[in-house]
């Protein structure tokens, strides 16, 4: 399976390019910026992008949506609770001194338990609110990986002091949706290095 992490944008978001080895169908997760680098990776792997997926609606994860949709012509997916953030990307980015474009509207919505297929690969949507109301993680059971966006980091968790955040809800999401996965599942957060479920259950200071 193609599984490449590309660090993009001024806030160093982990964008992921995934693809099926046999069919070359793929997905792009969190194209937050530097879309040309994402395009180059997709071309290098010879992928046909089936979906563009946002784990949540914050500007640093969705700032490249417009360019990515134009480049790949693929449907854009996010949880419905975070979809209104698409209209405020430019304004929020400006508050941080980072130029961004508003995202085009979503073509479909992520829901709990939804299976997203691309070629012979698939991933399951886990709705994990807390960092944002519509935050989602993406579990690839066959590959023993989970993409956690800004829900869970190596030795940390997503911030909950922004509008729509809830510390208690985030901890409940992680305990109920992520810490119930097998211990050896590798975690790919929205920022920073990878980790494992086992490590976070035993060493994350928030638990």
Check if the beta carbon of residue 52 is closer than 8 Å to that of residue 73: no
Query: What's the domain count of the chain?
Result: 1
Pairing label, strands 121-127, 115-118: antiparallel
Res 195: pLDDT: 98
Between the alpha carbon of residue 150 and those of residues 40, 75, 102, the distances in Å are 25, 22, 20
Res 167: pLDDT: 98
CATH number at residue 176: 3.60.15.10
Lookup: tokens for 175: 């305990």
Contacts of 108 (CB under 8 A, 6+ apart): 75, 76, 77
Give the tens place of pLDDT for each residue, 37-71: 999 999 999 999 999 999 999 999 999 999 999 99
Give the tens place of pLDDT for each residue, 143-159: 999 999 999 999 999 99
Residue ranges making up the domain that contains 93: 2-203
Between the alpha carbon of residue 188 and those of residues 13, 36, 50, 80, 87, the distances in Å are 11, 22, 21, 23, 27
Res 103: pLDDT: 98
3-state helix, strand, coil in the chain (%, to 5): 30, 30, 40
| Strands of the sheet with 76-79, listed across from one edge | 2-8, 13-19, 25-29, 48-53, 76-79, 108-110
Q: What b/e readout covers 33-68, taking b as 16+ CB neighbours within 10 angstroms?
A: bbbebbbebbeebebbbbbbbbbbbbbbbbbbbbbb
Q: What is the DSSP letter of 176?
A: I
Integer-rounded Cα Rg, in Å, for the chain is 16
| % of residues, the chain, pLDDT over 70 | 100
């Amino acid at each position: 399976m193609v599984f490449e992490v590309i660090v993009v944008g001024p806030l160093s978001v982990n964008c992921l390019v995934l693809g099926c080895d046999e069919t070359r169908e793929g997905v792009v997760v969190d194209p937050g910026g530097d879309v040309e680098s994402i395009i180059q990776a997709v071309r290098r792997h010879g992928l046909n992008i089936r979906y563009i997926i946002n784990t949540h609606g914050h500007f640093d994860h969705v700032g490249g949506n417009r360019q990515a949709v134009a480049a790949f012509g693929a449907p854009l997916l996010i949880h419905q609770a975070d979809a209104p953030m698409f209209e405020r990307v430019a304004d929020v980015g400006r508050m941080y001194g980072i130029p961004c474009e508003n995202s085009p509207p979503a073509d479909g919505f992520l829901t709990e338990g939804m299976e997203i297929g691309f070629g012979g690969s698939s991933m399951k949507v886990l709705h994990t609110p807390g960092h944002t109301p519509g935050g989602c993680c993406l579990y690839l059971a066959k590959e023993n990986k989970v993409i956690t966006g800004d829900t869970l980091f190596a030795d940390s968790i997503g911030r909950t002091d922004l509008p729509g955040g809830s510390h208690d809800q985030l901890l409940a999401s992680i305990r109920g949706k992520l810490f119930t996965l097998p211990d050896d599942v590798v975690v790919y957060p929205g920022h920073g290095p990878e980790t494992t479920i086992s490590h976070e259950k035993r060493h994350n200071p928030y638990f």
